[in-house]
Each structure stands twice: as C-alpha cells, then as structure tokens.
Amino acid sequence: MIDTLIVLAKEPLPGFAKTRLTPPLTPTEAASIAAACLQDTLDAVSRTAARRHLLAFAGDAAGWAPTGWDVVQQPAGSLDERISAAFDAAGVGSALLVGMDTPQLQPHHLLHFAPARCEAALGLAPDGGYWALGLRDARRAREVVLGVPMSTPSTGAHQYARLQAAGIDVTLLEPLADVDTVDDLSTVLAGSPLGRFRQVVTALQPRLVGRAG
C-alpha cells in the first residue's frame, strides 16, 4: 500500500485558474472547469487506498479538503520547489503525487504504483509534462525534482532522466492528458466518467463548438 497520496492543487478562482481557456470562456466559466477538475481528482484519490491522504494547497482550502485528509499550504516558489515541499510534508515512506488537471483519473491509474515492487513511478502527459510522480522513499524528492525544468514540452523527459541518473528504477504509468487548453477539453472528456468535469464541460459545450478538438 502507498503510504501517502498527495494532490497538489490551487484554489480555482476566476482570473487565476485555467486562464488558457479564456477566451472563449469567461474567467468564471474557466474557474468552474478548474473546480470540477479538482473535485473529480479529490474524489478519485479519496477512493484509492493509502495510509494517508494529503492536500498540498495554494489558497484557502476550506471546503475543498475531503473529510479525513491532511492539508498543508504550498510554499512560495517554483513548481519544482512546491512539488518537493509536498513530498517533504509526506514524511517517511512512499508517496505518490498528482496534480488537479486530470479529472479522468481513476483509482486503478494510481494503484499501478506498487512501492514494494518499484522504486518510482512516472505518469507522462502527451504535452510533454507529467501528471504523477511516485517515490518509494519520499525523502528523495529534493534530490530528483529540484532543478527539473517545469511546464515545458520536455519536463517529463527531464524528470525521467533525473530519476534514472539517481539510480532509481522507474515504472511508467498510463499516460493521461492534462486540461490546459480548449483543445484538451474534448480529449479529456472522452476518457472521463460521469463526474463533475463531464457535467460542467457538457453544459458549456455550445460555447465551445468549433473551438475544441
């Protein structure tokens, strides 16, 4: 069993969340998609067995953390620093971290990381990033994450190379697409169950006809 499952997320506020969806969507509509992504992600992770569930949050976590979850505030800094800090908060043992941009996520995607059998797991995304990082020893995060260039078309490749350079055996998880742009909406929707993301995007579909996918 994984010791700690971590969701790295930020408060879905208009004007700050999913800004690459505007236009054609309004900031409020984009934020509603971000909120749906976060809610579906938290639901899937809550349904995945672990000794501890941890929300590493940027913003006001009131109303977002599911019952029984621990919450830590993300520190200021770059994404690699915030990922490392989230693993630090996990403490001793294994940890698997995911973001809030893959609402199609299901427990089986996470359970492919079996710390007893593999040292690390990496879930790559089609845009070149990654949606999940798992470590048998969470304390090694700073060694293997700090300095990895984030939010680039080669972030996933850099992260994989860093793990290998540290002598860590890496298991690749199923690739999942992130929700970043309007074109991503139809791709992710095709793999999403009947969750909040599907409801919100379906309701906004008339605004998106001819713009997505």
Q: How far is Cα 56 from Cα 71, in angstroms, rounded to an integer?
A: 6
Across the chain, mean pLDDT equals 94
First to last CA, the chain: 38
Give the closest residue to 123 by CA, choosing from 161, 173, 160.
173
Q: What is the average pLDDT across 20-43?
A: 95
- Say whether pLDDT at 213 is over 60: no
47: which residues sit within 8 A by CB, 6+ positions away?
A: 107
3-state secondary structure at position 168: coil
pLDDT of res. 133: 98
Place of tokens 């992504």: 37
Q: Which domains does the chain have, with CATH numbers?
A: 4-208 (3.90.550.10)
Instruction: Count Cβ atoms below 10 Å from residue 37 Cβ, excluding itself.
Output: 30
pLDDT number for residue 205 = 83
Q: Name, in order, each residue with C-beta under 8 angstroms of 164's C-beta and a sequence gap of 6 or more.
A: 170
Res 191: pLDDT: 84
Residues 109-148 pLDDT 10s: 999 999 999 999 999 999 999 999 999 999 999 999 999 9
User: Tokens 């697409």 identify what position?
Assistant: 177
pLDDT of residue 209: 65
